[in-house]
Structure formats: structure tokens, C-alpha cells
Structure 1
Amino acid sequence: MNHTIQSVKIDRNNSMSSYFHGDEDDNTYKEVNQSPSFNQFSLHHLSFIPEPPSSPSPLLPPSPESIWSRSPLLTPTHPSLLYCCISSMHRDGDIYSIAVSNDLVLTGSSGRRIHAWQSLDCHAKGYIHASSGEVRAMVAHGEVLFTSHKDHKIRVWNMKNCSGTSTSSSSSFKPRKITTLPNDSHFKKIIYRPITPQIMGTSKPIIIPQHRDTISCMAYYHVEGILYTGSFDRTVKAWRVNERKCIDSFIAHGGNINDMVVNQQNGYLFTCSSDGTVKMWLRVYGENSHALIKVLVFHAYPFHALAFSVAVSHKSFLYSGSTDGTINYWEQELSCRYTHGGFLQGHRFAVLSLVTIENIVISGSEDSTIRIWKREKGRGNIHECLAVLEGHRGPVRCLAAFLQKDKFALSFLVYSASLDQTFKTWRVKLLSSEVRKSPFGDDDHDDDDDKEESKSQMEFETSPVLSPSWVKKKLQISRSLHKLV
């Protein structure tokens, strides 16, 4: 039984993006006295609730008494998934990046301000004012935040004592800039390992110790304290944060580097590019240089997004999103080799953003939708699409997720930003299998029995489809364009 939705490959020139038009650093904090004006949480404003279809649909209609929407019913024993949009905020400019730091959510945009929000209620906490805008990439680890800017530099911020649950005042938001990379000392102490042959008669090539184009992505390997940055200039740079210097720089791809992730267990670095490749790198033992281990895939379509997931059994999964709307994934073997496990189909246009949380994969697409996938355990790593989140009116550029504590369900928040210049927060609840077995924890059925029961009920499964409102909206756009022609 096929658990995914068939997608339609399209030409990149006809993608949905054509429909959308899309001082010194201040080390003191900026206060914001009031929260942004969010949309009212009434049924009238919940645009993700599908309109009543003219024909029967496998999507169950939402309850008129509740703002929660039920996901497509895949099997009679499938765990229930509920979701709702709890906030929607309109920004004047595009949001390029989202990062979660402790109890804060930070958004980087085309401006110089990096806004901070309380993760649970989206109350405005304040903002960081930088001397350069276009914060294309952000990554947070503990109390440290890394941001990339239009001047092709990275800024490192100390977020200590910035989080908290108080929403009455933003006085607790006091970030401090630690350093800027590269700094002046890099022009004298830069260490560079070339991939291209050196010029005859020179021992080392001369290189400017910073990226020459937009820094599009970052990944932090906290085991070694190394920050990786990828750029549209096709290079990857490795920075040792505690020494505040670049330890390696190399040409990684033949096109723009769009995203990167690092495996915290063994230090493998994965990069994807517009040249249609996903590559695997590893730092040479005892050295600062990095070696290409494997080209995982050579694709006809550009890759835009990567995400990494570690299972309970310490197996790891790498996910990649491409322009044709598919999500490819690889599984790590015991020998640390990665084998292609398959691909997920469902999005109609390019997959621009990916994020994972436990065995959940969340994807944002150019088709303006967000999909939630679940990797089933003990079933050959089958992935099922649990829900299609609607609400954005433009391509979903970036995503982030925050896990909540809940005894009875896997509860998490999803943060999304789109080219429609809106920033939305979604609450998702997925009832775990352990809770469904017995609320008292005394169920005697083992995993083998669950597998046999699941197999016996496979014939009742149905595949989720695009909601009627999505199809209706795209048909209206198509008809409008046809009239213009």
C-alpha cells in the first residue's frame, strides 16, 4: 500500500514563485513594550480549515466547535493528530531565517533587527540591532546565537539570561555581541587549504578571509566547537569559535550552497547545492582540513533544504528537499555508510525548508503548504503524511520546531515564515502509541503483536490527498492566467 501522495514534476521556470513578488552593532538590548497584533483565534480567520468539498473527500471536516483540525485518517489504529494555527503575524519585509534558543524564537529578515519572541505564547521579547541586515541564516546552541549578514560576515551573540516565561516585561532580554567573524586578525592568521592546484612558484594562494557572496546556511558542530558556513560563492568555511578564526575553507559545489547539517555523533558534514548534488564531508583526523567522503546523489533538480534525524536506536536519517517537490532520505548503516532509503512525494512544487523532531519530519514548500510526516518504527522506515497545514499564501521559506512537555501526546510547536511576509505558529499534538495502549502503562502486548495487527489492517489504509481548498485556490489562479492569455 502506498502511503504517500504522487507528485507532478514541473519545470522550474513555471514554479509558483513567479506568482509572488516577493552604525555599529548595538550591544545593548532593545525593549518592546507590547506584543504584535495577532489575528483573532476565531473560526472565521482560520484559513487552513478546508472549504466543504463538492464531492466526498478522505479529509475529515473540522469540528464546528473547535479550532483544531483533524488529520487524514490513514488507518483505524493510527494515532490521532491535531493541529491549529495559534498566531499569525504580518511583517513589512521577508523573513529569511528562524532559530530556537532555549525558550525564545528568533527571526531574521531583510532588515537589521533580529526579533525575539516567547516560544510558547509568541509574546514579543525585544530585538537585536545589528549594523548589517539580510540575516539569511541563524543557528543557536545553548546561550550562543550565530547570525549571517549582508556584509558576508558572521556575528556571535551571547543570549545568557535572555529567556524566561515572563511576558509582562522585556527587561530580561539583554543579548550581547561576542565577536564578528572574520575580524581584523583573520587577514594575518588565515589558514586556507586549496582544492584547486596552486600557482607555480607560490607556496600558498592569497585569499580574502571571508565569503565573497551571501552566507546562505550554517551548522554548528558543538562537540568540537566548529561553526560551518556555506555560501553562494560555492565555498564552505570552518570556524573554530573559541579561537575566533577560520581553520579551513574549500570549494564544495559547482553552484550555490543552499543548506547544510552536521551529524553530532561523528562529525559528518552534509551540504546541498543548486548543482543538484548532496555531498558528505569529514574533517581529516588530527588536521583542520576536510575531505569529500561521498556524493550521495546527483540530481537533475537543485536541492534547497536538508534535515537530520537520529532515531532511538542511534540510527540516523538524512532528508533533502529538491525543486521537483520530492524529499529524498538516506539511512545510516552500522559502518557509518549512508544508503538511499527512498523518497517522499506530496508537494506539488519545490521543497524549500525541512526540520525534524524525533521521528517527525516537517516540510515547507513553494506550494504554500506545510506537511507533517511520521517515520514508522519497525515497518521498513515507512513514512506517512499525517497532515497538510494550510494558511500561508506564498512559498514557505523557513521552518523551526520546539518540543513541548506532554504526558499524553507528542506535542510540539511549528514556526513558519513565508514569502507572503507572514510568520505563523502552529501547535501540533500527536497521541503516542504508548498512551493509546493503556493510560495506566500496564499493557502486556509487545511490539511484535502491534506489527501483526498493523499488517492485518493495511487493507483499510487510505492515502492522504491535497485538501479541496488548496486545489480550488490553484485552479482559480490557473483560470485567471488563462483569461489573461
Structure 2
Amino acid sequence: MGNHQKLLNFLRPDPAVAACSPRSFSSSSASVSDDDGYSCSSYPTTDGDASPSRYGGSSTPPTPKSPWAHLPGLGAGGAVAEPGATGLIASLVKEDGHVYSLAATGDVLYTGTDSRNVRVWRDQRELAGFRTASGLVKAIVVADDGRIFTGHQDGKVRVWRADADNPAVHRQVGSLPKLKDYLKSAVNPTSYVETQRKGRQRAVWLRHSDAVSALSLDEGAGLLYSASWDRTFKVWRMSDSKCLESVSAHDDAVNTVAAAGFDIVVFTGSADGTVKVWRREMVAKGGATEHVLEKVLRKGESTVTAIAVSAEDRVVYVGSSNGLVT
């Protein structure tokens, strides 16, 4: 009965199909339950709390103690700075809750917040926004084909596209896992795995049982990686949104994942203080692969909060809760 109840809970209509806030958003109707097939979009806003930007120069940044606020050689009032100078160019301001995620593609910036909104910015002004009513936005990545993947507190990854005729309108085109894949697994008792989450000891393996904390793309391999507080990372094939693998990666929440872009390896960082290197290896004829732990790159007491990889230089940067980047 427990598995049937979980299945019924999953089939309940996702709140994300609800209409967006009339103040800033508009939404189109939904014809399919859960996240498959519904859309939610918005148009540029002109309400008073949406300041287009606050420029650096002589104005005070929102965080005056930031090291960017007092750098020598920065031109005030838009003047040309000295060669090599760095500093705050502008601040994008929207009273929209904490900003948890950023992604840039071309001249467009996406920001995700705990208000469950994704804002779209261009030329330091708000172009549009879209919203899901379920799960604050903890991660965003943008694929080369224009798809936008967002990771959420509710354990789902949602997929969006900008309208070809009106880039201010974004529509949801799917979610991970797909509903039909989840249903196939939900009726199979062998598809359930043990979880560490309180009050939920078993869950279907292809869906995260806790917040999705990070996303990373390996465009060359056609793979999307999702990391979660459920201590796993999952591997998704971008062509058909199929979950290929779920890896029990750490002893605590996985906070970050980064596809290296070289040597077919992936890095994960966790609240357990470790950074691990995983190699994708062929395991069967027909192209089936799995990720195998190659080494523990770092052990420490401080939570690993971020990983960035320079593929060209083959350098890995690790940010920790103690304020250090190594």
C-alpha cells in the first residue's frame, strides 16, 4: 500500500500548472497532469520594484563591504577604467527573494530565486520571467539547443524553452523524470531504493528524493548531471530525457557537480567535506556506460559548496564553507 500511496501522491496535479501571479506573469493552460506538457510564461514587467539596474561607478553597491566596491583604477560614471582593472559594472535589482542560481547564454542572464521565479535579463534590464509554483530554483543550466534546465527544492528538474517568435515568453516543455518513465518504475517493487531522508525511507531510484542542488551539462556526450541533497547524482540523456544512472556518491548532501569537459570525468562536492572524481566507463556492448569512482580529490571538515572547472587549463577550483577557494 505504501508504494501505491506514493504513486497517488505523484499523480496529484503539480501546483506549477496553476496560473502565475497576475502582477508579473501570465500562463497558458495545461492539458497534461504533473510537469509533462504544461507551460508557464511571462512578459516584461514595468512595476515599480523592478529597477532595471544600478550602475557601479560613483553609486554605492548593494553590499558596500564587498571588495568590488573599492578597487583602484575603476572609472566613475562610466569612464574607461585602467587596463586590467576589475570591478562592479552594475547591480540587477528585483525584490524577489534570495538568488540561488545563475546561468548566462549569449547576452541573456537567468536568475533563480526562492520565490520560485526565474528572471530573464538582457542589457542589464529585466526582459521577462517564468515561474513554477512548486520548488524554489536552486540550479539553472542552458543547453546549446536553447533548452533551459532548472533544478528545484522539490527534487524535480524542469525543462523550458523560449518562444521562437517572442523570446519574452518561456514555456515548460517537460520535466525529469518524465511522467511515463516514473510510472513504469513506480509499479515495479525492484525500482525502489532506500533513502536517508526522514519520513521517506524508500523512493523510486530515477527521481531525487530531496532538493536538486546543482546541474551540469556535458554537451559532447549529450548528458545532463543533477546533484541532490539525497546524496546522489543522476545522469540523464538529453535526447530523450531518460535517466541512465543514479550514483550514491557521498555520505552527506551533494552540493555541486561539474562535468570536466576532458578525460570523461565528473567532479562532485559534498557537505561531507569531500570532492570526488568519477570516470565514465563502458560496461556493455551497445554503448552502455556507468560512472566509477576514480579518486577522492579532497578531504576536509568544511562543506564543499561549489566546483568550477577550466577545461582548457585542466584546473579544478573548489569553494568551501570556510571561505577558501582551493
Amino acid at match of 1:138: I
1:240 and 2:237 are equivalent in the alignment: yes
Counterpart residue identity of residue 98, structure 2 = D
Q: Is the 8 A contact 1:49 1:69 kept in 2?
A: no
**Bigger-Rg structure (1/2):** 1
Shift in Å, 1:186 = 2.1
CA–CA distance in 2 between the matches of 1:155 and 1:195?
Answer: 23
1:111 aligns with 2:115: yes
How far the C-alpha of 1:188 sits from its partner, in A, is 4.9
Q: How many corresponding residue pairs?
A: 269
The equivalent of 1:293 in structure 2 is 294
Q: Secondary structure at the match of 1:178?
A: strand
- Identify unmatched segments of 5+ residues in structure 1: 1-22, 51-58, 71-78, 163-170, 197-204, 329-485
Closer, same or farther: CA 282–65 of 1 in aligned 2, 3 Å: closer
Root mean square deviation, CA, Å: 3.1
Shift of 1:91: 2.2
Q: Aligned partner of 2:17: which letter?
A: E
Superposed counterparts of 1:12-411, under 5 Å? 23-24=16-17, 26=27, 27=39, 29-34=41-46, 36-37=50-51, 38-39=53-54, 43-46=58-61, 47=64, 48-50=68-70, 60=72, 80-118=84-122, 121-142=123-144, 143-159=146-162, 161=164, 171-190=166-185, 207-285=204-282, 286-311=287-312, 315-328=313-326
Inter-CA distance 65–222: structure 2 relative to 1 (3 Å threshold): closer
What letter corresponds to residue 318 of structure 1 in structure 2?
A: V
Bigger relative contact order, structure 1 or 2 (CA pairs below 8 A, ≥6 apart): 1
Q: CA deviation at 1:240?
A: 1.2
Q: Judging changes above 3 Å, is the alpha-carbon distance between structure 1 residues 195 and 270 closer, same or farther for their aligned structure 2 residues?
A: farther
The answer to whether the 8 A contact 2:99-2:112 is kept is yes
Distance 1:86 1:226 in 2: 34
Report the AA paired with residue 132 of structure 1. S
Q: Give the drift of 1:161.
A: 3.5
Which residue is 2:197 aligned to?
none
Q: How far apart, in 1, do the equivalents of 2:103 and 2:74 lie?
A: 31
Q: Secondary structure at the match of 1:32?
A: coil
Q: In 1, Cα distance between the equivalents of 2:215 and 2:114?
A: 17
Contact 1:187–1:208 (CA under 8 A) maintained in structure 2 = no
TM-score, length basis structure 2: 0.72
CA distance in 2, matches of 1:222, 1:62: 37
Q: What are the superposed Cα offsets for residues 299-349 of structure 1, whole Å, 9 maximum, x if unpaired?
A: 1222111001033xxx41111111232222xxxxxxxxxxxxxxxxxxxxx
Any idea what SS the aligned residue of 2:41 has? coil
* TM-score, scaled relative to structure 1: 0.50
Aligned mates of 1:110, 1:175 — CA distance in 2: 19
Tell me if the contact between 1:216 and 1:232 (Cα under 8 Å) persists in the aligned partners: yes
- Could you tell me the percent identity over the aligned residues? 28
The code of the aligned residue for 2:268 comes to T
Contact 1:278 1:296 in 2 (8 A): yes
Equivalent pair of 1:259/1:272 in contact (CA under 8 Å): yes
- Report if the CA contact (8 A) 2:17-2:40 is conserved: no
Distance 1:301 1:64, change over 3 A: closer
The amino acid that maps onto 2:274 is T
**Change over 3 Å in CA distance of 1:43–1:280 after alignment to 2:** same
Instruction: Please give the alpha-carbon distance, in whole angstroms, between the structure 2 residues aligned to 1:128 and 1:233.
Output: 27
Secondary structure of residue in 2 paired with 1:45:
coil
Give the CA deviation at 1:284.
Answer: 2.0
Q: Deviations over 1:251-282 (max 9, x none)?
A: 10001111111022332110011111110112
Structure 2: segments with no counterpart, 5+ residues: 1-15, 19-26, 28-38, 195-201
> 1:93 offset after TM fit, Å?
0.8
Question: Paired residue for 1:396?
Answer: none
